[in-house]
Each structure stands twice: as C-alpha cells, then as structure tokens.
Amino acid sequence: MSDGTISVNGSYDGTATLALDEGFEQDAGTVTALSGTIDVTGDYNQLAGSATFTSSTVALTGTFDLGGSTTIANSGLTAEPISIASGAMLYGRGGTITGDVTNAGTLDLIIGTSVNALNVTGNYTQTSAGTMTANLAGTTSNGKLNVSGTAYLDGTLNVQLIDGFMPYPGNQFLIIWANQLSGTFASMNLPGLTQGHWVPSYSTQTLTLAVWYN
C-alpha cells in the first residue's frame, strides 16, 4: 500500500513489511505489528484507536503524533519528533525510540519480560500536563526510562506497586537515567508503605526513589 494516506478504521495485523509513501493516518481500530516492519515516508497521525508494536521496527521520516493508545514492546520506533498528546497513552515495555519525545499525555513504563527499560535516543520533554507512570514489581524489576540526550521534567510522576510487591527500607529504584537531567516533577503520587517512607533523589543524570526508615 503506497502513494497516498492510508486511513485505518479496521485493523492492520501482520509480520510483513507495510510501506507507505505519503503518511499514515489511524482514525480508529487497531494496528498490530508482530516482528514485521512499518516504513512510513511522512507522518504517522494516530487520531484514535490503538497500536501495538511487538519485536518489530517502525521507521518514519516525519512525526509520530499519538492521540490514542500505543504500546512499544521490545521494538524500535524512529520518528522526528514523537508527540504524546493530552489524553493519549504510550506504554513502554522495553525497546528503543529514536527521536525526541514530548509528553503532554501519559507515558507508562511497564515491566517487560526481559527488558525493563524504555530507551530514548534523543531528548525527552514532559510538559506541565504530562504524566509518567513507573511500575515497581521487585527490587530489580521496575519500569525505567533511559534518555541519551536531556530529560526535561515537569508534570506528574505516578508510582504503582504491582504483583504484590511491597518495598522495605533499604530498597532503591532507578526511575530515570539521562545524559543530562533538567528540572523536577511538579508532583509525585507515591504508594503507601508498611515500613519506612519514600525519599526521591535527583542528580544531574538520574532520578532515584529510595525507601528509608522513619
């Protein structure tokens, strides 16, 4: 399929290569790439619906605008830039995004089965309207964001405990690593603990959450 804008109201589900010469617009429905390739010359504009990229490659020469729900699971996504709009969701279950990311919606860092970190090979900017959610499933199993450029922080950080995990004093979790960290989250929503209290710690490159004794 090429030579024009493809409007998806149903679904694309495949393991082959989908090549689009002049952009891709998703109005509804689902797009699922299972170890295949989506190669777009132009922009990917997701107005609604959902997209899931699992062990696949998505390469765009233009922008990737999210208006619905997108999951990246151990996949590669290349676009310049990538914009998460207000009300949109990007789920990161490992994998690499090549390009700058602006988050005015929600970035949810999910625990992957083998790779926990979502890697951004560019800058990450979270606006005052943006939210990042980090899931903690164990002392060595938590959602993380790695940024090779600068991470500009604002907005909200939500932390969720999953799989029955309860942190104790002495536990610490690396949430963000960046080549440079700028700013802080305006607010944090941290889960209750049976022992100790949360202590966020910012450095020039990292954000770490630790549990200390009261």
Which DSSP string do the residues of 151-196 spell out, in sequence order? EEE-SEEEEEE-TT----TT-EEEEEEEEEEEE--SEEE----SSS
pLDDT in tens, 139-158: 988 999 999 999 999 999 99
Residue 1 lies in a domain: no
Q: What's the average model confidence in pLDDT over 61-68? A: 73
Q: Is the pLDDT of residue 204 over 70?
A: yes
pLDDT of residue 112: 54
If you write DSSP's letter for every residue of 70-98 in order, what string do you get? EEEEEEEEE-SSEEE-TT-EEEEEEEEEE
Whether the upstream peptide bond of residue 200 has omega within 30° of 0, thus cis, is no
According to DSSP, the residues that pair with 136 across neighbouring strands are 142, 161
Residue span of the structural domain in which 194 resides:
6-212
pLDDT in tens, 75-134: 788 877 788 988 888 888 778 888 899 999 999 998 754 456 889 999 999 999 999 999
Does residue 88 or residue 168 have the better pLDDT? 168
Q: How far is CA 60 from CA 19, 21, 81, 160, 181, in A?
A: 10, 10, 10, 32, 27
DSSP 139: T
pLDDT of residue 48: 79
Q: What is the average pLDDT value for the chain, to the nearest integer? A: 84
Counting the structural domains of the chain, the total is: 1
pLDDT of residue 147: 97
Residue 25 lies in a domain: yes
